[in-house]
Structure 1
């Protein structure tokens, strides 16, 4: 599905031919002009038509149709193909969702292809049209703007993840017994961070290549901007690594709390079992009812046995209390 199509000349949107082939031919014949075509989840037939008009590489077209690609940058003889993974965080469900943005960049055209609902490109064209000095740098300006927007969305998602993780950390270290479902939530957070890292970490190398000028794109004036985007991405990746380490520490702390609580419970059970063992032992001895037991014929025998049980239990209770077992 074509979302939008326009011809830009010297950074300004202009009226171009309605036919895609004519628009591309006119852009190639006009210095400083190029066509920006925006697509959303195109079918194989739709992308085949676009590929025929723009002369896209068949391997890149196959990747663009199938989606679910790893972030990457591929250069062909007369074009560049780049894949970026978008990330959206949903605090209500504590879940991370991903989408994809793919770009074909050529001499007089740029094609953006979106997959998935979590796409930060809505409104990007309108914002860029307010900056003709940026659009005047050609198709690579769109590449920079898309990469910058995607990385900024990473920062927003990372901030939301950090806030939820702070709440989880406070819950783990709150006074009282550790909750049984905290470990499950921690593992779920680690799964979300893994999905996040799969989107952001592989993008570092393509952005570095673009910013260092190892590619035919972008032009020299745009490379400092891409270096800035690469720096922001490095910050995101460092934060994600820090969150993952913090989650591991929280998990270890929770497991240690559970272990300590279990040890406390076992000590209390052992202490009460020890208190119950003494009267059981005395009652068992006197329950044998041997004739030659002298206490059986004494009027003070029964009260003495009861007093002995109580006295021993009181002494044991005080000993266990002082040692922290009760």
Structure 2
């Protein structure tokens, strides 16, 4: 048994009378990795003070019981102790500790390993070129016949509220470990829907700004929103495959009732996927529209520059001709030749300006 100072998992005493509040933790965790652990029998949290190993042994001796232990950013040593108690596969344990894991579902003999990416919307008063719109985390779940081990990475995706809701619905919790998995996935996908709605508001704002000629959104703002959408899509889109595997009835075994609940989760996730695809198309269109506006503005500027250059070139032509110092030139000896030439230059410039103005170049 691997031991750490002040913590040894099989000997931890966790009160099972009520769920302990889950602290909001930063990515660099402080304190024990075990957030909460309890034995459930018939959908009811069992009272008593026992170690995790004792709880698991009690679950195996009871027909309708299982253990749910929640971890937050465990170390290798802490995860090794959990793996020893629940006999988790080393490859799955390695994936549970990995920083980068996309949504997936794998089977290791009698244990399923599911990875889901949690997400949250970052409120902002103004959308800038560096605004963070979506923050993501990860929830990894080991699911066996008599246990559920949840491993959370990141500061989002807390499961305290999920546990409390499940304990308030004993009939659902009595369905077993996969009822816990459904509740977690359902909560995460519901948050996806809220993020999608918030994204719609940001897109509406950007669209309005792009169509405003005097103060449109910058390309940097549009590109930043597109990057945040890519991060959000990386959480939502890959979840389709694990949910499909759950629903096919061959990869994992669960009751028909729980599978119906997962079908609802899958429907909601597909809705978010469709909305993300629409958002991506809209952002591409807005980006192209803004680039077209920039091109048009540049062309307008070039036409104005060319117009002023033409008027300057006309004056330069007059000055160039009379600066050749030829002896015989029209009106060279005329008393009013100089002011006359200035008047001709002014009139021709006014006529050229009027012509360019009517043509829309100025």
Structure 1-normalised TM-score? 0.95
Q: Counterpart of 1:248 in 2: which secondary structure?
A: helix
Aligned with residue 352 of structure 2, among 316, 319, 325? 316
Separation in 2 of the partners of 1:21 and 1:177?
64
Residues 134-173 of structure 1: per-residue CA shift (max 9 Å, x gap): 1010001001001101111111222222211211111111
Give the Å deviation of 1:178: 4.7
CA RMSD of superposed structures (Å)? 1.4
Residues 211-240 of structure 1: per-residue CA shift (max 9 Å, x gap): 231223322111111011001111111111
Q: Does 1:50 align with 2:82?
A: yes
**Structure 1 portions without partners, runs of 5+:** none
Separation in 2 of the partners of 1:287 and 1:87?
75
Q: How does 1:132-147 map to 2 (within 5 A)?
A: 132-147=170-185
Separation in 2 of the partners of 1:192 and 1:276?
50
Q: Counterpart of 2:36 in 1: which secondary structure?
A: strand
Q: Counterpart of 2:195 in 1: which secondary structure?
A: helix
Aligned with residue 62 of structure 2, among 13, 24, 30? 30
Q: What's 1:74 paired with?
A: 106
Q: How does 1:86-125 map to 2 (within 5 A)?
A: 86-92=118-124, 93-125=131-163
Give the Å deviation of 1:280: 1.5
Q: What's 1:63 paired with?
A: 95
Separation in 2 of the partners of 1:235 and 1:14?
38
Change (3 A) 1:142 1:208: same
Give the Å deviation of 1:301: 1.5
Separation in 2 of the partners of 1:177 and 1:15?
63
Q: What's 1:163 paired with?
A: 201
Q: Does 1:277 align with 2:313?
A: yes
Change (3 A) 1:5 1:176: same
Separation in 2 of the partners of 1:119 and 1:178?
36
Give the Å deviation of 1:120: 4.1
Aligned with residue 199 of structure 1, among 235, 238, 242? 235
Q: Give the stretch that moved more between structures: 3-12 or 21-30.
A: 21-30
Q: Counterpart of 1:278 in 2: which secondary structure?
A: helix
Q: What's 2:3 paired with?
A: none
Separation in 1 of the partners of 2:152 and 2:313?
73
Q: Does 1:241 align with 2:273?
A: no
Q: What's 2:341 paired with?
A: 305
Give the Å deviation of 1:272: 0.9
Bigger helix fraction: 1
Change (3 A) 1:291 1:172: same
Give the Å deviation of 1:101: 0.3
Q: Counterpart of 1:276 in 2: which secondary structure?
A: helix
Separation in 1 of the partners of 2:105 and 2:302?
58
C-alpha contact 1:5 1:36 (8 A) present in aligned 2:
yes
Separation in 2 of the partners of 1:222 and 1:311?
88
Q: What's 2:164 paired with?
A: 126
Separation in 2 of the partners of 1:126 and 1:229?
20
Q: What's 2:47 paired with?
A: 15
Change (3 A) 1:217 1:297: same
C-alpha contact 2:209 2:215 (8 A) present in aligned 1:
no
Q: Counterpart of 2:316 in 1: which secondary structure?
A: helix
C-alpha contact 2:37 2:67 (8 A) present in aligned 1:
yes
- Deviant stretches of 4+, over 6 Å: none
Separation in 2 of the partners of 1:231 and 1:21?
38
Change (3 A) 1:276 1:135: same
C-alpha contact 1:213 1:220 (8 A) present in aligned 2:
no
Residues 95-148 of structure 1: per-residue CA shift (max 9 Å, x gap): 322111011111111111110012142311111111111101000100100110
Q: Counterpart of 1:42 in 2: which secondary structure?
A: coil
Q: How many residues get paired?
A: 324
Give the Å deviation of 1:22: 1.9
